[in-house]
Amino acid sequence: MVTRVRVVADRRRCAGSGQCALRLPAVFDQRDTDGRVALVEEYPDEALLPALRQAADRCPSRAIKIVTA
């Protein structure tokens, strides 16, 4: 069974720490204008799920959610 993974990032909540972009640059980046989260890949490969969950757990502002279906 294939799991569809979606990353949701709340830019208003983001503090711009960059932890997500450091941990998983294939999925996360930071905007040049304010340093807040920018998604490189909204629907990443399911193989990245453990790393995505880790990035979400380590986000100091809890701005990242991982949705699976």
5-68: CATH, from 3.30.70.20, 2.40.10.10, 3.10.350.10, 3.30.465.10: 3.30.70.20
CB contact at 8 A, 18 and 12 = no
pLDDT recorded at residue 3: 82
Digit-coded pLDDT (tens) for 18-37? 999 999 999 999 999 999 99
Ordered per-residue pLDDT tens for the chain, 69 residues: 678 999 999 999 999 999 999 999 999 999 999 999 999 999 999 999 999 999 999 999 999 999 998
pTM for the full predicted model = 0.92
